[in-house]
Amino acid sequence: MMDNEKTLTPKLIKKLWFAFILLIVLMGASYIFITGYLTLNYNQAITQRINSNVAEHVIQEKFQNEAPFLEDGSVNKKLFGDLMHDMMAVNRGIEVYLLNKSGDILYSVVLEHNDNEPMKSVSLEPIKDYIATNGQEFILGDDPLNPDEQNIFSAAPFSIDGHEGYIYIIVAGKQLALISDNLFSSYFTKLSIGAILLTMLFAALIGILSIWFLTKNLRLITQTVRKFQEGDLDIRIENPEQSDIEVVALSFNKMADTIVDNMDKMKSVDNLRRELIANVSHDLRTPLAVLKGYIETLQIKKDSLTENQKEEYLQITHDNIDKLSGLINQLFEYSKLEAEQVTPIKEPFSITELSHDLIAKFKLLAEQKQIHLQLDNPEENYMVYADIGLVERALQNLIENAIKYTEPKGKVTLSLIKMGKQIEINITDTGSGIPINDQPFIFDRYKQVDKTTQKRGLGLGLAIVKKIMDLHDTTIVVLSKPYEGSSFIFKLPAYQLQ
Ligand code: ADP
């Protein structure tokens, strides 16, 4: 299927490409700009360096035999006229200026004029810097013909007949600048096009590769998610730590686990409900049938029954109603615990006092069965930190079971022992005991060792105890030998009085 192979949205690819092209254009532009700027400076620096001694040369050559100033102090125009001839032959772009020592222009030899108003003086700072560095540094100075621009120059000081000043020569005059601009722009255009093409080619190659690598993990994740969506609940992203998008991969795996867990939980709740309905209908049917039978007898034989018989029948109905409501309560309690609707409210209380109360409560029942029910070590007062209602419920179920599964003349003992920061609670009987093979399962719901006996209840008693232990982060263990008896042991945190 085509649809299955399409693992990434075209939108994402488009965005990635857009970002990439933008990057290439920006790179190209900055490349051109930087190259352009540096090349211009480079050209100027070379021209300046080549012409570095031109000014010095003029002084040495021209001022050796003839002074630049006449006796009346005016400029020797003839000397500079010669200079102009020399320049015309060599380079028309050169401009020579005679400066006094404060930078004022005393005379100029310029072949190529322009429309600008020439400057009357130039800044001495670059000239002094230039002389100080011996013409070896790239320095720009004022261009008298173009007051807005800076240009490369050559300069040298002179001191003749009490006249001090500088010969200041602009070496790249207008024409030179024009030629270099023309040449430069043609080279530069070629360079730019070449550079852009190369950059784009490399960038596109790198782009394709990196988009492929970048989206590789994404494709894998999308494929896995799709398979999961199609019902393959066991599928997970392999080696999520190695994925480039580790967080997404790990989160997906965790999310899938949670979904599967929740589905399992829902399934088990569903099974429980089904089991419950089956068990409940079975367990409730017996007392209901008994009830129905006796009530019908009472109705039909109302007149022929003796008072004693009527009393007996009513007692039986009463007992069965008790049994029924007991079963229903147990069911209700268990389903609440199972649905995790019960939050323990822990508080300090005396487990000794609670045990005394329970012994008193079950005394009568035990006596009826000729069972000796007792509390060991009754003087010590032990405090625990737990939910009193839930602990009472657990103890009640355990004592009830102990009495239920112990024969007449037997013994049921509840003992409390302090063990460090915990109190151990032990309910021991001398009853029928539990076969070793069954011991691991008696805390499961509906698990009854002997289904044939009359003693059986719903099989929820120990399951409720187990849930209560879970809520207190503790465990219960059973030690039992068939025909000798059983011990149920658990621990609760002791409450330390400060
Ligand atoms: P029931 O309602 O059947 O008593 P429980 O969950 O309370 O269900 O107990 C599960 C099973 O564990 C019982 O059916 C019984 O076989 C066994 N059992 C529990 N307590 C004792 C005990 N003190 N002595 C012997 N067997 C016990």
pLDDT of residue 410: 95
pLDDT of residue 292: 92
Ranges of residues in the chain with a pLDDT under 70 are: 1-10, 88, 90, 92, 112, 172-181, 184, 188, 445-458, 497-498
Q: Which of 442, 456, 458 maximizes ligand 1 atoms within 8 Å of its Cβ, making it the mutation to test the pocket?
A: 442
pLDDT of residue 371: 96
pLDDT of residue 345: 95
Q: Are residues 357 and 476 in the same domain?
A: yes
Quote the ligand 1 centre to 434 CA distance (angstroms): 8
CATH of the domain at 349: 3.30.565.10
Q: Which of 398, 462, 468, 479 maximizes ligand 1 atoms within 8 Å of its Cβ, making it the mutation to test the pocket?
A: 462
Quote the ligand 1 centre to 489 CA distance (angstroms): 15
pLDDT of residue 473: 95
Q: Are residues 451 and 328 in the same domain?
A: no
- CA distances (Å), 36 to each of 41, 102, 140, 217, 282, in order? 9, 36, 18, 42, 96
pLDDT of residue 77: 81
Q: Are residues 326 and 373 in the same domain?
A: no
380 within a domain of the structure (yes/no):
yes
160 within a domain of the structure (yes/no):
yes
Residue 243: CB within 6 Å of ligand 1?
A: no
Q: Are residues 293 and 371 in the same domain?
A: no
* Nearest ligand 1 atom, CA 449: 16
* Nearest ligand 1 atom, CA 397: 7
DSSP state of 241: G
Q: Are residues 114 and 186 in the same domain?
A: no
Residue 401: CB within 6 Å of ligand 1?
A: yes
Residue 432: CB within 6 Å of ligand 1?
A: yes
Residue 439: CB within 6 Å of ligand 1?
A: no
> Which residues span the domain enclosing 420?
345-493
Protein residue with least CA distance to atom 11, ligand 1: 448
Q: Are residues 290 and 381 in the same domain?
A: no
* Nearest ligand 1 atom, CA 456: 3
**Between 246-300 and 307-338, two packed helices, what is the crossing angle to 10 degrees?**
170
Please state the domain count of the chain: 4
Check: CB of residue 143 under 8 Å from CB of residue 149: yes
pLDDT of residue 36: 75
Protein residue with least CA distance to atom 21, ligand 1: 401
pLDDT of residue 344: 94
* Nearest ligand 1 atom, CA 445: 6
Q: Are residues 442 and 480 in the same domain?
A: yes
Quote the ligand 1 centre to 430 CA distance (angstroms): 14
Nearest-angstrom CA–CA distance, 167 and 58: 8
Q: Are residues 350 and 316 in the same domain?
A: no
Protein residue with least CA distance to atom 19, ligand 1: 401
Check: CB of residue 497 under 8 Å from CB of residue 356: no
pLDDT of residue 431: 93
Tokens 């600048």, located at residue: 177
Protein residue with least CA distance to atom 13, ligand 1: 448
pLDDT of residue 218: 83
Q: Are residues 354 and 431 in the same domain?
A: yes
Nearest-angstrom CA–CA distance, 449 and 443: 11
Q: Give the 3-state secondary structure of residue 219.
A: helix
pLDDT of residue 498: 58
Quote the ligand 1 centre to 449 CA distance (angstroms): 7
Q: Are residues 285 and 155 in the same domain?
A: no
Q: Are residues 35 and 82 in the same domain?
A: no
* Nearest ligand 1 atom, CA 485: 24
Q: Which amino acid is at 122?
A: V
Residue 429: CB within 6 Å of ligand 1?
A: yes
pLDDT of residue 2: 39
Protein residue with least CA distance to atom 1, ligand 1: 459
